[in-house]
Amino acid sequence: MRRVKAIVYLSHRQEPFTTVRDRLSREDFSDNVELMRAYDSTHLSNLIADAEVVLCFRITDEILLKARNLRWIAFGMAGVDSVITDKMKDSDIIVTKAVGVADDAVAEHAIGMMLMLYRKLHLCMRSQIQNRWLRSELVEKVMEINGSTVGVMGLGGIGKRVCRYLRVFGARIYGYDKIEPGEEDLVDEFYSDGKLDEFLSCLDCLVLCLPLTEETFHIINADRLSTMKEGAYIVNVARGSVIDERALVEALQREKIGGAALDVFEREPLPPESPLYNLHNCIISPHIAGVTPNYWTRLADQFIENLGRFINDEPLLYQVNKEMGY
């Protein structure tokens, strides 16, 4: 069994590296791995020359130019569209992503945002800060998820979990994706290419869980927003650029869209001057849907499983189509 040099470049904190190292120590191939931690991009640049594997969230083309032996980049997240570079696309380097590591957390976050919109909890919080009792203003506005029609756009791991949670709440679930999920009772109605406007027109709430690609960039634009029900809700835990943010602001200001709950944005951090901050019908979280105390453990398990495959020249799990970005 050959020896492999692998670099972990995930965080300024010690915990991610320690978790990976401890997980590796339980494998019978651990003696065949030289595991190193890169503390910053400069340190990574100094270590990368003879490494075959790097586990990271981002790596630049400048650093890749120094990577003579690199064969596998393991990204530590599911959404890799923004970190795949032209040099990676033109190379033979295998790229993998983390699958399912944060699915539960993101799905829970989406449901939490939905509950805030339906039950007007964000308005309750604002009235509390203002020492105001808003019962008379809110009794006509609160809604139930039970019995409402919720559309989930993107039926990957996160989208499927959102659907399962919605089933418990008693929602009528509509799904949209390129390919049918192949899971019985996941959705009540399924829509695919060519039927997006029909799908959107049915919904009380739209939950976005799809990857960012050339096809999905601004897929929710002014025209699509106009097809939605008056006062419908939008929850985005996907990528900021699947929505035309300017068009969304206008729809929220006119209350064509009754409310939006957003964890992701076209520009991050969201600039202080963004009008989204001051809209009473917009809920903002700072891209934390995927944050979970279990993240590093799950990521380490997945990486070490694939590392064993790499050492044994077996096909890696969760490979990315570099041209498509997912």
Q: Among 144, 255, 268, 314, which one carries the catalytic annotation? A: 268
Give me the sheet containing 33-37, strands edge to edge: 33-37, 4-9, 53-56, 72-75, 94-96
- Closest by alpha carbon to 44, among 11, 22, 77, 20? 11
Spatial CB neighbours of 95, under 8 Å, sequence gap ≥ 6: 72, 73, 75, 80, 84, 88, 319, 320, 322
Stated as kind and residue range, the H or E segment containing 274 is none
Question: Considering 266, 287, 305, 309, which one is annotated as catalytic?
Answer: 287
Q: 236-252 b/e with 16+ CB inside 10 Å = b?
A: bbbbbbbbbbebbbebb
Enter the tokens of residue 240.
């900021």
Catalytic residue list contains 172 = no
- Break the chain down into helix, strand, coil percent, rounded to 5: 35, 15, 45
Q: Hey, what are 99's tokens?
A: 């699958």
Q: Is 268 a catalytic residue?
A: yes
Residue matched to tokens 């694939």: 306
Q: Of 172, 239, 245, 298, which residue is the catalytic one? A: 239
What positions carry a catalytic annotation? 239, 268, 287
